[in-house]
Structure 1
């Protein structure tokens, strides 16, 4: 049970949430069933924290999670963590991926982020700007997988904070889509890309829930197409992801030590080796 101090002291609350997340950690290799829709074949060396304790951990450092949130993936190879969601949007048509324009998609993402900043301003949350592509959007039509990555920066943050990066991966299904978003830094994203790709390849829909199982006479079609997962819809999600990007830069190397000192064992939780930056 958490102490009364944990409810009011942010550091104590974070330590308690991290300890609960550590206790709930499910280590690979194992199959993680997700949302009654699919399975993540979690490889060895990775861990999964379910939505309840993972959500409390994120909320303890100022982020918000929605009903689509499934949990976090952490591990030895991840410099950061991976946010897993299932969005029951319906069947997302993918035809527009054949002729989309990366420059136009970036403009859409930037304008969508500015619109989402209005909500963040009202909530007293930091505002962010999109700096550019880390990886331009690309869609694997055969496997219905989408990958893109953009760097973000807090508008009033110090330059020394660095850019936060979300490396976004999606797999489309019959009734919606999974997203796995790796939150890391610009300095580490290149070495992290293969890890994100490995996890994406390990995620699949159950039989009957796959994209190919779509029945046009009975199934719901999403109100938006694939480009929205890079533009307007994605900009709303960047509220969480950009916050986490800044959180990584500010918290990971400093406050982690204090939390470990409080007995929560964050380095152990996230698979960090002693002496690893």
Structure 2
């Protein structure tokens, strides 16, 4: 039995970050009493755990992120590559575009981060001292209005940009661009979208952290610590840039504000260029109780 959740769409590079669906096999509070379980419930639970266990996991050492980078996997964490990442996103009820390269989480899968590479070219860092949070926010809000028109035409939920959770900042040493934005969906629920852009020679590794808002205070430092174990292959590193390499058509501000997608939206080409990725997920306890109580798994 495949369990899906509400599908939410990404607009102008804003990937929704909701409470993660997790393998809560060790979460005693989320399970119903054994007496309330039916044979169908037990079969659904087994199918869920069998699916998670069927994926190829790296639990130690160094894992490959496509053919461009690696990441160190500390004890207590698990990583799966491109194939496993795509399968997980499909299983969670998310749209995918085939460019997912990796998925990392604690062993209990209480939260996760997804890696995807965008080969936009070498992004110059000459805007690092010009990250005007108010101006960028205005661009995001205006861009979202344009994107919402396209979303309505595509029959997908619209979003509103409310403001910053964490204003954008750039780490000159690691070449990381990071920020978190607050959004609201059509049903009034608020969403935190936490993103990291890791600049490389030929493009940008896009990393999206997915966790519950209440977890952010403790999870973000843990997540940032994990990213310290990320490194591009030598020939893919930012420092390996060589004259003649492809240079991105926009800079750091464009990476936050949507870059080419904003231009595409205004020119009516967004539907053709759209990257159909979404992360919509539900809480651990809610997920397991849905299985055990035999609810309609496709409606949330």
**If the TM-score is normalised by the length of the shorter chain, which range does it land in?**
0.7 to 0.9
What pairs with 1:1-40 in structure 2 (closer than 5 Å)?
A: 19-40=50-71
Residue 129 of structure 2 corresponds to 98
Aligned residue number for residue 20 of structure 2: none
Maintained 8 Å contact 2:103/2:115:
yes
Matched position secondary structure for 1:254: helix
Q: How far apart are 1:175 and its partner, in Å?
A: 0.7
Q: Distance in 1 between matches of 2:290 and 2:157?
A: 24
Equivalent of 1:84, from 115, 119, 123?
Answer: 115
Say if 1:90 and 1:221, in contact at 8 Å, map to a contact too. Answer: yes
CA contact (8 A) 1:171 1:178 kept: yes
Report the Cα offset of residue 16 of structure 1.
5.6
Matched residue SS, 1:230: helix
- Separation in structure 2 between the aligned mates of residue 198 and residue 10 of structure 1, nearest angstrom: 31
Which structure's residues are more often strand, by fraction?
Answer: 1
Q: What SS does the corresponding residue of 1:65 show, helix, strand or coil?
A: coil
The residue number in structure 2 matching 1:49 is 80
Instruction: For residue 77 of structure 1, report the CA deviation from its aligned partner.
Output: 7.8
1:129 corresponds in structure 2 to: 160
In the alignment, the residues of structure 2 paired with residue 52 and residue 76 of structure 1 have an alpha-carbon distance, to the nearest angstrom, of 19
Q: How far apart are residue 57 of structure 1 and its match?
A: 2.9
- Deviation string for 1:30-87 (max 9, x for gaps)? 2111221110112221111322233233234442222321132121586432111111
Structure 1's unaligned 5+ residue stretches are: 263-277
- Equivalent residue for 1:223? 249
Q: Give the structure 2 partner of residue 253 of structure 1.
A: 285
How far apart are the structure 2 equivalents of 1:142 and 1:111?
A: 32
C-alpha separation between the residues in 2 aligned to 1:261 and 1:167?
33
**Inter-CA distance 78–144: structure 2 relative to 1 (3 Å threshold):** farther
More helix by share: 1
Match of 1:272 in 2: none
Q: Between Structure 1 and Structure 2, how many residues are aligned? A: 246
Provide Cα deviations, 1:152-194, integer angstroms capped at 9, x if missing partner.
2212x15xxx422222112111111112110123222122110
Taking structure 1 as the reference length, what is the TM-score of the superposition? 0.76
Alignment of 1:96-245 (within 5 A): 96-155=127-186, 157-158=187-188, 162-216=189-243, 218-233=244-259, 240=277, 243-244=278-279
Structure 1 residue 213, shift from structure 2 partner? 0.8
Residue aligning to 1:266:
none
1:27: Cα distance to partner? 3.6
Greater Cα shift, 14-23 or 40-49: 14-23
Partner SS state of residue 170, structure 1: strand
Change (3 A) 1:208 1:54: closer
Alpha-carbon shift at residue 255 of structure 1 (Å): 2.0
Instruction: Tell whether the 8 Å contact from 1:169 to 1:200 is kept in structure 2 after alignment.
Output: no
> 1:137, 1:14 → 2: CA distance?
41
Structure 2 counterpart SS, 1:215: coil
- CA shift digits 1:213-258 (9 cap, x unpaired): 1012x21111221111211248899974xx53xx33x454312344
**Structure 1 residues 143 and 124: alpha-carbon distance in aligned structure 2, compared to 1, 3 A threshold:** same
Partner of 2:27: none
CA distance in 1, matches of 2:254, 2:108: 30
The 3 A distance-change label for structure 1 pair 226 and 17 is farther
